[in-house]
Structure 1
């Protein structure tokens, strides 16, 4: 799973597809405690499950 902010969603999707060769599930984050993998912002989406 990759937690990501709005700005880095494209990078997260690309990374997930490169690693798994499958299309990811993209869902909103259900809490505000996760941080984006690529910056310090609060994560908005979780890519993959």
Structure 2
């Protein structure tokens, strides 16, 4: 599971990942500027997942 997220929604993405997988996620910067935030239409800055 990987969730692309903007700065504003990173906390929500981490919480959702932990709720669904019961594991701590990796938090990595996004190197592809074409990805959009899962929660809004802003450009993704981080990918939460493992």
TM-score between the two structures when normalised by the length of structure 2: 0.95
Aligned equivalent of 1:6: 7
In the alignment of these two chains, the number of paired residues is 49
Moved over 2 A (4+): none
Distance in 1, matches of 2:4 and 2:13, equals 8
Q: What residue ranges of structure 1 are gaps of 5+ in the alignment?
A: none
Deviation at 1:44, TM superposition (A): 0.1
Choose between structure 1 and 2: higher strand proportion.
2
What RMSD in Å do the two structures reach over aligned CA positions? Answer: 0.5
